[in-house]
Chain A
Amino acid sequence: MTDTIGITALIPPELIYACGHRPLDVNNVVPESSLSPRSKLCAWTALWRELILTGSLDIDSLVVVAGGDCHNALVDGQKVALSGLPTHYFFYPFDTNLRYLYSQLESLEGFLGGIKDQEMFKYICGLKKKGLALEKQRVNDNARASDVFSALICFSDMQSNPYEFENLIDNIPHTEVEYSSRIALIGVPPIYPDFHKVAEEFGLHIVYDELPYEFIRLGGNDLQGLAKSYKNYSFAGPINNRINFINNELQKRRVDGVIHYTQFACHHTLEDEIFRDYLDYPFLTVQGDLPGPTPEQLKLRLEAFSEMLEIMA
């Protein structure tokens, strides 16, 4: 029987598909939500928790990323577990330990009932190659960042249907992009669904989305392969590894400036000072809270950043 498995952060979707189930990234429905969550710190976790507890999200079980994500997710995941939904806790190793991650993947495989379709590993790998090609397209100014982002952000679960998803990514239009500055967007993804479009209106071409890029660059064809790749999931490891990785990507993509999106009450906000010290680029920090259209105050910041970069150039 195919179950829908909710995931709270990056869990190898190829493993869930190979076990005969479909993943549903519970974060991907948050930006369109109009719920007002009670007992809220970070809106991302509070909203997926509320959506699950109110039955608005139809999932059969939940995999909580409890190590390598945040304590908000861990607590909200337990609230969901207390409601009776089968819940599994997955821990990324902070020290990139291969054996530890392999054991976590084994345990997850057990929770999912074991691998049933080995071929799904290869199929998902093929999709991720298409994702990387899309990424190259926007870096080479041949695709709008808003179109590419809307596809890449869904690589965490392939919209629970990889075959239909493949059709969607095959139809991302090739468009020659005009812009004034090339931007890297680091941190958690913005909770505002129109953020990339708004940035485009101000001439900012986002050529790097930190977290969605993790979704397409990591993969594997068996548990060992997954462990070798996902141990490098930059969000879960030491920040100096992440800084080195980001710096390398920024150079490759020839960015003019960095936007750090932070979420209200998210511990990643504390990383802002570190990034400002170690990423040698013009730097803008923005913060969001509840989902909805990008607020005017945030638009002002983007516009001013765009003006500043243009004048500096």
Chain B
Amino acid sequence: MNIGLDVGSTTAKIVLLDNNEVIRSKVVSSHNWKELLDTGMDEYNIVSTGYFRKKVPHNAAITEITAASLGVRYHIPDAQVIVDIGGQDTKVIDLLNNRFMINDKCSAGTGAFLELAAHYFNIPVESLGRLHSRTQRSAQINNTCGVFAISEMISQLVAGYTMEEVIHGIHEAFAHRIAQMIPPVEQVVLIGGTVLNTGIVDAMEIILGSTVVIPPNPQIVNALGAALYKNKSIPFKNTDILEQNPR
């Protein structure tokens, strides 16, 4: 049995894989990661990933980029670009060109931004998607800084926009921020707990103009990728890159 353990900044996930089939998965908060490990689990079988990958039991530790590439290819073998929206950063992995970008200098395109917004409205972050769907009208929110966006939200409420319209605007600002990192492709795969927010998915589809695909259980894809690592799958396109760049 192969075990993938993804302990990220906000949540910890585990996937148990037997004969390439997921037989169990679980998500808890990062600080409770120990709850994921049953007695009898052999450290030898664990491949870890995520921020805390080197702080938890493991036989091998891999970055979230490699884990995401493996996990997504399990469900979508012809994936082109993966966008992993995490609690503290967002990673864009271009599988066609073997490249990746990470946004971590600004919270505007990360889960932390949405938590900040939900905190301001005193609502659970899980309700953002539902509130987004109640309106088609958006309050325009600056998309350059997550912290300043909060003061802009307040200004828009003062100007008469509803909470739902402001949330709609937040999701669009979020999607614009991430879109700057994404190369133009036909299909984009979204993973990470944030994509459970349907408002984000709607905004991404509109702004990117690409087909947005979400694999089953997007929150555990990196843990799945870690579990697959022992199978030595090839996540990146193994071709001669000399053919791909212009001269």
Residues on A facing B (Cβ under 8 Å): 276-283, 297, 300-301, 303-304, 307-308, 311-312
Contact = CB atoms under 8 A, between A and B. Distances in A.
A277 B63 contact: no
Given A311-B235, A311-B236, A304 B241 contact: no
Interface of B: 62-66, 89, 98-100, 102, 104, 234-236, 238, 241-242, 245-247
18 contacts: A280-B241, A280-B242, A282-B98, A282-B99, A283-B99, A297-B102, A297-B104, A301-B100, A304-B63, A304-B66, A307-B65, A307-B66, A308-B98, A308-B100, A308-B236, A311-B66, A311-B238, A312-B98
B interface: dominant SS: loop
A281 B100 CA distance: 14
Contact of A278 (B64, B235, B247): B247
Contacts of B242: 280
B104 A308 contact: no
A282 B237 CA distance: 12
A132 B50 CA distance: 41
A301 B245 CA distance: 22
Contacts of A283: 99
A308 B238 contact: no
Contacts of B98: 282, 308, 312
A277 B246 contact: yes
A311 to B, nearest CB: 6
Contacts of A282: 98-99, 241
Contacts of B234: 311
B62 A301 contact: no
A306 to B, nearest CB: 9
Contacts of A276: 245
| 9 closest Cβ pairs, A-B complex | A304-B65, A304-B63, A307-B66, A297-B104, A280-B242, A280-B245, A303-B63, A282-B98, A277-B246
A301 B89 CA distance: 12
Contact of A308 (B66, B89, B246): B66
A280 B63 CA distance: 24
A305 B99 CA distance: 9
A78 to B, nearest CB: 30
Given A282-B98, A301-B102, 9 more contacts: A279-B245, A300-B63, A300-B64, A307-B66, A308-B65, A308-B66, A311-B234, A311-B238, A312-B238
A303 B238 CA distance: 19
Nearest to B101: A285
Given A280-B242, A297-B89, A312 B247 contact: no
A280 B104 CA distance: 27
Contacts of B236: 308, 311-312
Contacts of B99: 282-283
Contact of B63 (A278, A279, A307, A312): A307
A279 B64 CA distance: 26
Contacts of B245: 276-280
Nearest to A202: B63
B58 to A, nearest CB: 14
Contacts of A301: 100, 102
